[in-house]
Structure 1
Amino acid sequence: MAKAAMEKENKELERLQGVVSRYCLSLTKSRVEAEDLAQEAWLKAMDSSQPLEHVNPDAYLLRIARNTWIDRVRRQSTHMRMLEAVRQSAKHHAMPDDSLIGTEIAMQAILTFLSPLQRAVFLMRDVSGYSAQETALRLGLTAGAVKAALHRARAALPSVRQAIEKGSLKAPKDEGLRDVLRALAIAYDSGDIEAMLTLVQHGELEPAPAIAVLQSRRLRAASTSIRRGKSTPSMGIAA
C-alpha cells in the first residue's frame, strides 16, 4: 500500500512539474529561463507548504510561478530604467558631432567602478537580457556567482551615474584605452555582445591585449566567412 501511494505521489509530482514547466515557457519564451523560473517557483512552494496538500495544487503552483515572473519583470524594468538614466546622462555630455562619445563616457564609468567580472555579468544580464543560467554558461560560472556579481554591479551603478552627471571622469590619456572605449561604444550600438565581453573582461589597464584579442577573433571570423564564400565582415573598430 505504501509503495502504491508513493508511486501515485511521484506521478502527480511529475504531472505538476510538466504543467509548471509548460506555463513558465509560455511566460518567458526561453527554455533556459523557463527552467530557472520553474525551479524558483517550486522552491517557493516547498518553503511555504507541500504543493500536493493544497486543495488545488495546479492553481497554487501556477500562481506562484506567475507572481515570481511578475517580480522578475518588475526588477528588470527597474534596472533597465536605471541603465537608460546612465546613458541619458552620458548623452548630456556628448559632443553634437559624435553620437558615440556619450556611450564612450558611460563605458568609461563602467570600467572605472565595476570589476571585469561585474562588467561582463552586468552587460549580459541587465543590458542584453540573458538569464542567470545563460550568463553562467557563457562565462564559466555558477548561477550563484553570477547573482553575486550582478548584485555588486547594481550596487555600483549610483557611482557610475554620479561620475557621468558631474563630469568627473578625466579623458583617458592612454591611446589604447581610448581605442577600447571607442570599440565598446561601437559594439554597444551594434548589439555585439561578444565584442563587449571580450573588451570588458580585460582590466582597464590592459587595453592592448583586449584590442588584440578582439581583432584576432574578428579576423578568424572573417577568414571563416571567406572560406564559406561569404563577404568579409567589417572590423568595426575606430582608431
Structure 2
Amino acid sequence: MTVIGSDFDAATAPFRRELVVHCYRMLGSVHEAEDLAQETLIRAWKARDRYDEQRASLRTWLYRIATNVCLTALEGRARRALPSGLGTASDDPHAPLVPDLAVPWLQPLPDRHLLRGDPLARAVERDGVRLALVAAMQLLPPRQRAVLVLRDVLEFSAAEVAAQLGTSVAAVNSALQRARAAVAGAAPREDTLRDPDDPAVRDQVDRYVRAFEAADVDTLITLLTDDAVLEMPPVPLWYAGRVDYGRFIARVFAMRGTGWRMVPIAANGQPAVAAYCPDDRGVLRLHTVQVLTVTRRGIAHNVVFQDPQVFAAFDIALVLQRGR
C-alpha cells in the first residue's frame, strides 16, 4: 500500500484537466464537470491512505472515483439534450423564439480543457468530445455511458472497467455492445475535418464569417451542406437543410440588423465563433457562441448557444471594441 500523503497535490495534478473532460462527457455540462472533478479530488484526498498502487495505477483509481461521483450526480436526472434530439425540424423561419429553460441543455466545452502538444493524442481526445458524440452519449443510461467512455474513449480494459464499476467483465462487454449500437450514427465520418487548425477548415470558417458579417445570405448558404442543421438552445427549435437555414438567418438580420462581428474560438475540438450583435447604440454585445461542424462538403452543423453560463465558461468579452 502506498500513502500519497503530502505529495497528493503534485501526484494528482497531471490528471486534473482530464478528469474535468471525463466528467464533461458524462454530464454534458462544463460547470458541473468542474465541480465533480473537484469533488473527485476531495474524495481521493480523504481516501489517500487507502490507495494501493499494487491494485491500480493512480490514474485508474482517480477515474474510478470520478466515474462513481458522476453516476451519483446523474441519479434521477433528466439527460442534457440539443433541440435536434427532442423533436422534428421546423420549416417555419418565423416560428416563435421562446426559450425552454426547463430543459437541461447540453453545453459546449471550451478547448482550453483539451490536450496541447502531441498532435496524435490531441486528435484522439478531440474525437472523444465532438459535440454530436457527447450529445449521443447523453441518450445512454448512465452506466452504459460510463462503459462507453471508459472503454472506447479512454481505452481502459474490460477488466479495469469492471473493477471501476463494481461489475463483471461480461456485463461490461454487454453494456459496451449496446452503447456502441446506440451512438453509431454520431461516430465521426471519414469526410469530417476534425481539427480546427486544418487550413481547409480555417478557410471554410473564414468564408462563413465574412459572409455573415456582410449579411450575405446567398453566399453563406453556398458554404453549407445540403442537409446542414442549425439549432439554438435554449430555444427548442431547429432547422435542417441549407434552404431553411438560410431563410432563418435572413430573419435574424431582419430582426437584429447587420454589422455583426465574429471572433474565432474553439470548442469540443471543433471550430467555433463568438458572435457579436450591435445594439441600438451600435455597441457590439456578445449574442451567441456558435460551434461548427465542418466537412469537406461544407459546414454541416451549427449549434448556436445563447446562455450566460456558456459565455462565462469561455471567458470571452461581453462587449467587443470597434476595430477588433
More helix by share: 1
Q: Which has the higher strand share?
A: 2
Normalised by the length of structure 1, the TM-score is 0.29
